[in-house]
Amino acid sequence: RAEQAPLLVFPGQRFSGSGPPLDLRQAPHSCKVDFGEAVSVSFVARWEALSTWSRIIDFGSGPESDNVTISNFDKGRGLVADVYRSSSRKRLLIPGAIKVGVSQRYLFTVNSSGCMRLTREGVVLGELSAGYAPRDVARSRFLVGASSWPSDSRFQGHVADLKLWSGVVAWEIAFPEGQDF
Mean of the pLDDT values across residues 104-132? 97
pLDDT tens digit string along 124-171? 999 999 999 999 999 999 999 999 999 999 999 999 999 999 999 999
Percent residues over pLDDT 70 in the chain: 96
Closest C-alpha among 99, 104, 98, 94 to residue 127: 94
Task: Categorize the per-residue pLDDT at 71 as very low, low, confident or very high, splitting at 50, 70 and 90.
Answer: very high
Helix (H) or strand (E) holding 172, with range, is helix 171-174
- Residues 37 and 136: beta-carbon distance below 8 Å: yes
Beta-strand relationship, 8-16 and 68-72: unpaired
Topology (CATH level 3) of domain 8-172: Jelly Rolls (2.60.120)
Mean of the pLDDT values across residues 29-45? 94
Q: Could you tell me which residues are beta bridge partners of residue 104?
A: 45
